[in-house]
Chains A and B, each alone.
Chain A
């Protein structure tokens, strides 16, 4: 279109939009578009950085409440005593150097109608497109007696940071011969193999330092990620140390007593010296309060653009979304963040978003020198659902020698270094 748009054109365009459902958006050649990203974890950092790289004309503001990010990936190495908190903590200087405007503040509210975000100090930010990667919140109260005070005695450590350090300190303080209980949640939850990697690395620490101790996993599920691989590795590395109680055997924890250090399951009561409750979860409270989960626990998005199904102009990433066949992992969130950056760049240029393709690879360490993996390739179908590509992907072979497991442990570290460098380095 050439020349200024007069009122008649505007009306005609409005009519056309009403008829066809087309939204008329400002061209990207006009004043620079503003994208606000909330959350500087795997999803938000990836989206913000890739958006800067592929569409330098777009202003990117990143809102993050903490001054650094502690990764859940590799936090189990801290619990197992083969990693340190400083190894899993990342600052945001490199993102600022990319030209991303960083705001260290808690986002308190999102108003999809006025396209604004309100920060804790009352400041409002307006956006053309908003990206929210809020992670999970713990559903306190879902397990009877498990509230924020209980989490200081029976840590969840499912948001890495002080909770991780607390659980590690408890493990260090435990006497030899003690019992560590890990309560694993039902699906869906952040990091499906995480509870079992955690059990493995804690068992590794106990086997070396407190060999009369044991780990009991009380599970709200009957099957779990990479189950055959974990089970075989436990028999090989930690025989008799890890007991897994399935849902069918009454494993689901329904209540906790922090004062008595006991947990209740459907059929039984268990006492532990260290008790790690990984409770049911939901999308971060910010997006729940903004109505973006439509009253549910998780947010529905179009898998091609990660745009909300309920609020146009808002994109959601990572653990907070219903992501079809993709697991809730940091790696998935970063893959989605890249795709979302390409989609937003296209949409703000009035172009069609590129057809998405994503990878997820989740390594788990069973020991420092023993890694296992699940890998998949994902596409998006005509309805916007994320689907695994048939014939691709899979888990590590059940029959493999220790050199293969050593390779995958090395690649687990390599992937962690690579991905955190891509996002924060």
Chain B
């Protein structure tokens, strides 16, 4: 199960009109949901598990984005995120308990 309830209020900015009014920022849970397609721990998987330490996750994402850490695709993906989003992603992923890492 993903953590969810508390943050919904943060992103509730209005009622739905015909064409939805989007929240200004992307919810951290939604951002992180995209990582799970590849980083869903399966025994023997070549793709590394997501980390548990927010600072370390942030440092790695920033290094991928800056191409100072070699990667196959993570450098290309990390370039799609702002500093604030990388902070939010790192905090969200680190907040998951062991049982929630899928």
A179 part of interface (Cβ distance < 8 Å): no
> Quick one: given A21-B17, A54-B29, A415-B47, are A334 and B23 in contact (CB under 8 Å)?
no
**Neighbour of B16 across the interface among A53, A331, A347, A415, CB < 8 A:** A347
Query: Interface of A with B (CB < 8 Å)?
Result: 20-23, 25, 50, 53-55, 302, 304-305, 307, 312, 331, 334-335, 338-339, 342-343, 345-347, 349-359, 361, 373, 375-377, 380, 384, 389, 391-394, 396, 404, 407-408, 410-411, 413-415, 417-419, 421-422, 425
Interface contacts beyond A346-B11, A353-B20: sample of 12 additional A-B pairs, CB < 8 Å, sorted by A: A23-B17, A23-B18, A53-B4, A339-B33, A342-B30, A352-B11, A355-B25, A357-B30, A357-B80, A359-B77, A394-B76, A418-B40
A421 & B42 in contact (Cβ 8 Å cutoff): yes
B residues within 8 A CB of A376? Answer: 76, 80
B84 part of interface (Cβ distance < 8 Å): no
B residues within 8 A CB of A349? Answer: 8, 12
Task: Classify chain B: how many residues form its interface, as a range.
Answer: 35 or more
B66-79 CB mask vs A (1 if < 8 Å, else 0) is 00000011001111
A353 & B23 in contact (Cβ 8 Å cutoff): yes
B residues within 8 A CB of A350? Answer: 15-16
- For chain A, what secondary structure do more than half of its interface residues adopt (helix, strand, loop), or is it mixed? mixed
B2 & A54 in contact (Cβ 8 Å cutoff): yes
Bound complex: CA A55 to CA B78 (Å)? 29
A residues within 8 A CB of B13? Answer: 352
B20 & A391 in contact (Cβ 8 Å cutoff): no
- 10 A-B residue pairs with Cβ-Cβ distance under 8 Å, sorted by A, are A353-B22, A357-B80, A358-B34, A373-B72, A376-B80, A410-B46, A411-B73, A414-B38, A417-B45, A418-B36
**Neighbour of B26 across the interface among A302, A305, A356, A422, CB < 8 A:** A356
A422 & B1 in contact (Cβ 8 Å cutoff): no
A373 & B30 in contact (Cβ 8 Å cutoff): no
**Closest 9 interchain pairs by CB?**
A377-B80, A392-B80, A414-B47, A410-B46, A354-B27, A351-B12, A392-B79, A418-B40, A414-B46
**Neighbour of B42 across the interface among A304, A354, A418, CB < 8 A:** A418
**Neighbour of B30 across the interface among A347, A351, A356, A377, CB < 8 A:** A356
Bound complex: CA A380 to CA B24 (Å)? 12
A residues within 8 A CB of B38? Answer: 361, 411, 414-415, 418-419
Of A335, A392, A410, the most chain B CB neighbours within 10 A belong to A392
Bound complex: CA A387 to CA B21 (Å)? 18
A304 & B1 in contact (Cβ 8 Å cutoff): no
Which residue in chain B gives the minimum CB-CB distance to A351? B12
